[in-house]
Amino acid sequence: MKYLHTMVRVSDLDASLEFYCEQLGLEELRRKDFEGGRFTLVFLAAPGDPDAQVELTWNWDPEDYEGGRNFGHLAYAVDDIYAKCQHLADAGVTINRPPRDGHMAFVRSPDGISIELLQKGDPLPPAEPWASMPNQGSW
């Protein structure tokens, strides 16, 4: 038995690829359009970690996707949580839970999927602007 992917639905494929790839740092592995079913699947993974994937399902007919409480989040380890959060913030992504502790941060995708970022190894030393940054919203 082997983990393959977590599937999330996206309402705007371009905005979602901007978030998951350009901002968060995943890369696209493959995509397939299903003309009959009017949907597109795009498989993403962290660079160098292609076995653990996120599957984006984009239904061509518009739908707004809201979250429920049974799903919590996707979690990724990152090499430098401050650099990752700065990159996300510079791109306009709200850092819902800033890495005040040099260890953990949360952001959300355009469709409200919560993403946890965890510093690899030991926490980084506390540093501004993160150390004094308040939470924003929920995650």
**Active site members:** 116
Q: Which of 116, 111, 67 is nearest to 88 (CA)?
A: 116
Q: In the set 14, 15, 37, 77, which binds a second copy (CB under 8 A)? A: 77
Q: Which of 139, 135, 123, 5 is nearest to 72 (CA)?
A: 139
Q: Which is nearer to a second copy, 9 or 31 (CB)?
A: 9
DSSP state letters, 31-62: EEEETTTTEEEEEEEETTEEEEEEEEEEESS-
- The reply to whether 113 sits near a second copy by the rule CB under 8 A is yes
CB of 47 to a second copy, least distance (A): 6
- The reply to whether 1 sits near a second copy by the rule CB under 8 A is yes
CB of 116 to a second copy, least distance (A): 7
Q: Which of 28, 33, 3 is nearest to 16 (CA)?
A: 28
- The reply to whether 69 sits near a second copy by the rule CB under 8 A is yes
- The reply to whether 6 sits near a second copy by the rule CB under 8 A is yes
What element of type H or E holds 89?
helix 81-90
Where along the sequence are the contacts to a second copy (CB under 8 A)? 1-9, 25-26, 45-49, 51-52, 55, 57, 63, 65-79, 109, 111-113, 116, 118, 120
